[in-house]
Structure 1
Amino acid sequence: MHILFLTDNFPPEVNAPASRTFEHCREWRSMGHEVTVITCAPNFPKGKVFDGYRNHLWQTEEVEGIRVIRVWSYITANEGFVKRILDYQSFMLSAVLASPFVRKVDMVVGTSPQFFTACAAYVASRMKRVPWVFELRDLWPESIRAVGAMKESKVLDLVEKLELFLYRKADAVVTVTNAFRENLIRRGIDGQKIDVVTNGVDISRFKPRQKDAELLARLGLEGKFIAGYIGTHGMAHALDTLLEAAAKLKALPDGDRYRLLLLGDGACKAELVTKARSMGLDNVVFVDSVSKQEVVRYWSLLDVSIIHLRRTELFTTVIPSKLFECMGMGIPVLHGVAGESADIVQQEGAGIVFEPENADALCDGVVRMFEDRMAYERYRSKGLEGARKYDRKELAQQMLAMLEAVVDDARGKKPLAR
């Protein structure tokens, strides 16, 4: 089977969509399937093309047996709604124009978070007369409303109609949470064609390891209890809460033992750095995004990982993929996200759940993790045990079985044109 996969994020980018897509495609390739990925020049989240790449009309490379075609797009930082829409739409157009040059395709997969990539997948599948699958990673445009990135308007209403059109036209929909599946069913989408394949972890790479001594020394973190956030610094993440918690930790009689490490970039990064300086938070260390190969070294520094999103109904339906990376490395979590992901933390016993945007609760959680060593070790061992249920290799096989069923069904109806 030849799978054409459309995504606007792919390694060397290190965000969750890039990692999921690459790890799934790598497994499908190892099982003998041909995989072609159409993506853009790596630039997320700073909006700057990575070293060694150019924003050309067409460039190709091979990554662990995966053919990767990189097409031109309008590149901008992950900030500013209008510019980001131009970014998304330019990739959509380029991906559509590139897809006819990929021959003998059996199916097309388009992945969100933003669904303009799914639009491109739909068009490409119609041109090739093959089935297509919508991989739903985010309820977009509902997430735009949730973070207040755009005021209510007829434009958002039209975008939502397009979203529903794509769900209906897809031969199958793969969601990353059960809550997303339930949302679609409530909105009239046939539940029989919706499968759930959660995010997971590459347990061959994310596994327990000693703290990186060189990094500890370089960052001035030796002998400190380190709570860290690794990921995008965006509107959805409400990382002001972490700074408020850092101020509370600093004010404790033994506050000097605690450090907060924030690694990543995003629309709110500069503002957070400025605010931390103005608050005199010398117990907060900011680190820019690092490569996929390097990020595990930084994970190793953490005694506890902080996962956090704004307090809004929409985010009760998401499962941050970093949760599984923490579990795989045996790092207990302080989980400031309500809903389905909080249920996983509690069911697996991987850490402490706290109310989103509650700095007092976060501060208390950090202190509890330090002081109650028995509980800490229990969270650590339970997380490692639970991570095996979310092995990316097995999840990739689960999704592949669904893709094969879609192709078999299409072939049963009529011969596929290539």
Structure 2
Amino acid sequence: MEEILIISNYYPPEKGAAANRIEQLALKLDQNKYMVTVICPLGNYPKGELFPEYKGKFSVNEKLQNINVKRLWIYPSVSKNILIRILSVLSFSSCLFFYLLFNKTPKKVVVQSPPLLLSFIAVLVLSQKNKKIILNISDLWPLAAIELKALKKESFSHKFSLFLERFIYKKSTLILGQSNEIITHVRSLFPDKECFLYRNFPDHKISEIELTTKHREPIKIFYAGLLGIAQGVFELCQKIDLNGLNIELHLFGDGAEKSQIESFVSSSKNAQIYFHGMLDRKELHTRLQSFDIAIIPLKTRIYGSVPSKIFEYGAMGFPMLYFGGGEGETIVNNNNLGWVVPVENYGALNQLLQVISTMPKSELEVMKKQIFTRAQKEFDLDFQIKSLIAKGVF
């Protein structure tokens, strides 16, 4: 059985798309007869503090669903202060550096990027050991940081990040990109680099749609995920207008904006917005079965980024209200997955909500079945992994 190592800044029991994405990759490689090991930090995300089971420990070895998980020490933080965030990444990166330097590693290694500093350290050591480095890029940094205004263009931090970015692209054996835009960007820097599209498809193993439509209830729109700066859910709460509409907005998740959202919802006169906090993935999916529409917002259009929620909710059969721009917009439109609104255009969003409010539930029910069928055909994780294996990626 061939060995493969995955290096990631996130892994369950941590929550969020990044942890889920790496877990799905690990499990699928295991199912295809690879012996998989994951190196990641002690569990701390999204709260930015070590989970109780990892407190007071420097490293932990675990076996999760046949995956060997090696957790190394990290100084956890979700601070908005970029220096503190860098310190957090640097703490795990330093542990990773010495681990890779002094321990035997498989010939093939998947390195998740971002964080850039983490992937730089991994690629630096692994390239010296002549390993096959499979760089899995989910977002383009520092480009995304500039668009989110987390970095100032032409600053020292920006120029240093550009150096890290170019280094990891150059030294990697091949690139997996979560979007066509990512692949286009990599090839603009290194035209001959071998690149493959690897979408973040879910693996729910659902053969029949499980959603139920409650015809006598209001239309229930939901957001479930990280409540961070990039998603802009707090601003959504402030600017969405549900007055007089047959619509409720339900929010699930945790993150930097949680306290602001909780305060707003508890003090707001708008009784049509509900906050439910963070739920376990399985419990969340059970709760959502009687809901109607998923909303996917982004604070700004980020080049290269495609929210994994598009594929996850499509696989469950949810119509989507996509509010994020970019390649995600194209995917929603081309696959008839719901509605698209330009990023930050709350006027257009509120006009669309007025139209949705008048839709009969029977029409939404038809949409759910059509979307479920489409996603079963187009968003097939098993086919994608087997295709990449056949091409010699792993």
Q: TM-score, normalised by structure 1?
A: 0.86
User: How far apart, in 2, do the equivalents of 1:127 and 1:76 lie?
Assistant: 31
Alpha-carbon deviation of 1:379? Answer: 3.0
1:234 correspondence with 2:228: yes
User: How far apart, in 2, do the equivalents of 1:129 and 1:13 lie?
Assistant: 31
Q: 1:392 to 1:339 in 2, by over 3 A?
A: same
- Seq. identity, %: 24
Once the two structures are superposed, residues 165-216 of structure 1 have per-residue CA deviations (whole angstroms, 9 ceiling, x without a partner) of: 1101111111100011111222x21344111111111131697325699xxx
Aligned partner of residue 322 in structure 2, secondary structure: strand
Tell me, yes or no, if the aligned pair for 1:203 and 1:391 is still in contact at 8 Å.
no
Alpha-carbon deviation of 1:8? Answer: 1.1
Give the structure 2 partner of residue 358 of structure 1. Answer: 345
Aligned partner of residue 285 in structure 1, secondary structure: strand
Aligned partner of residue 374 in structure 2, secondary structure: helix
Alpha-carbon deviation of 1:49? Answer: 2.2
Q: 1:269 to 1:207 in 2, by over 3 A?
A: farther
* Equivalent in 206, 222, 225 of residue 219 of structure 2: 225
Structure 1 residues 34-45: aligned runs within 5 Å: 34-45=35-46
Structure 1 residues 190-269: aligned runs within 5 Å: 190-204=191-205, 208-210=209-211, 223-246=217-240, 248-249=241-242, 251-252=243-244, 255=245, 257-269=246-258
Give the structure 1 partner of residue 368 of structure 2. Answer: 380
Aligned partner of residue 264 in structure 1, secondary structure: strand
Aligned length: 389
Give the stretch that moved more between structures: 333-342 or 103-112.
103-112
Q: 1:145 to 1:363 in 2, by over 3 A?
A: same
Q: Which runs of 5+ in 1 are unaligned?
A: 214-221, 407-418
Give the structure 2 partner of residue 56 of structure 1. Answer: 57
**Which segments of structure 1 move beyond 4 Å, counting only runs of 4 or more?**
210-213
Aligned partner of residue 54 in structure 2, secondary structure: coil
Tell me, yes or no, if the aligned pair for 1:207 and 1:330 is still in contact at 8 Å.
no
User: How far apart, in 2, do the equivalents of 1:291 and 1:62 lie?
Assistant: 20
Opposite residue 159 of structure 1, the aligned amino acid is S
Aligned partner of residue 254 in structure 2, secondary structure: coil
Structure 1 residues 151-170: aligned runs within 5 Å: 151-152=152-153, 153-170=155-172
Tell me, yes or no, if the aligned pair for 2:323 and 2:342 is still in contact at 8 Å.
yes
Opposite residue 308 of structure 2, the aligned amino acid is S
Alpha-carbon deviation of 1:339? Answer: 2.2
Alpha-carbon deviation of 1:372? Answer: 2.6
Taking only aligned residues, the RMSD between alpha carbons, in angstroms, comes to 2.4
Q: 1:37 to 1:232 in 2, by over 3 A?
A: same
Once the two structures are superposed, residues 272-326 of structure 1 have per-residue CA deviations (whole angstroms, 9 ceiling, x without a partner) of: 33334454232211122222332212332421000011233xx253210011111
Tell me, yes or no, if the aligned pair for 1:174 and 1:195 is still in contact at 8 Å.
yes
Give the structure 2 partner of residue 323 of structure 1. Answer: 310
User: How far apart, in 2, do the equivalents of 1:270 and 1:116 lie?
Assistant: 29
Once the two structures are superposed, residues 256-287 of structure 1 have per-residue CA deviations (whole angstroms, 9 ceiling, x without a partner) of: x4211111112222223333445423221112
Tell me, yes or no, if the aligned pair for 2:116 and 2:164 is still in contact at 8 Å.
no
Give the stretch that moved more between structures: 134-143 or 257-266.
257-266
Opposite residue 386 of structure 2, the aligned amino acid is Q
Give the structure 2 partner of residue 295 of structure 1. Answer: 284
Q: 1:9 to 1:59 in 2, by over 3 A?
A: same
Aligned partner of residue 59 in structure 1, secondary structure: strand
Q: 1:367 to 1:55 in 2, by over 3 A?
A: farther
Structure 1 residues 58-77: aligned runs within 5 Å: 58-77=59-78
The answer to which structure, 1 or 2, has the higher relative contact order (CA under 8 A, 6+ apart) is 1
Which structure's residues are more often helix, by fraction?
A: 1
Tell me, yes or no, if the aligned pair for 2:39 and 2:71 is still in contact at 8 Å.
yes
Alpha-carbon deviation of 1:100? Answer: 5.0
Tell me, yes or no, if the aligned pair for 1:212 and 1:297 is still in contact at 8 Å.
no
Tell me, yes or no, if the aligned pair for 1:206 and 1:296 is still in contact at 8 Å.
no
Q: TM-score, normalised by structure 2?
A: 0.91
Give the stretch that moved more between structures: 1-10 or 297-306.
297-306
User: How far apart, in 1, do the equivalents of 2:388 and 2:161 lie?
Assistant: 27
User: How far apart, in 1, do the equivalents of 2:181 and 2:363 lie?
Assistant: 30
Tell me, yes or no, if the aligned pair for 1:203 and 1:392 is still in contact at 8 Å.
no
Once the two structures are superposed, residues 97-125 of structure 1 have per-residue CA deviations (whole angstroms, 9 ceiling, x without a partner) of: 22356535121111023222212321341
Aligned partner of residue 272 in structure 1, secondary structure: helix
User: How far apart, in 1, do the equivalents of 2:164 and 2:278 lie?
Assistant: 34
Give the stretch that moved more between structures: 162-171 or 232-241.
232-241
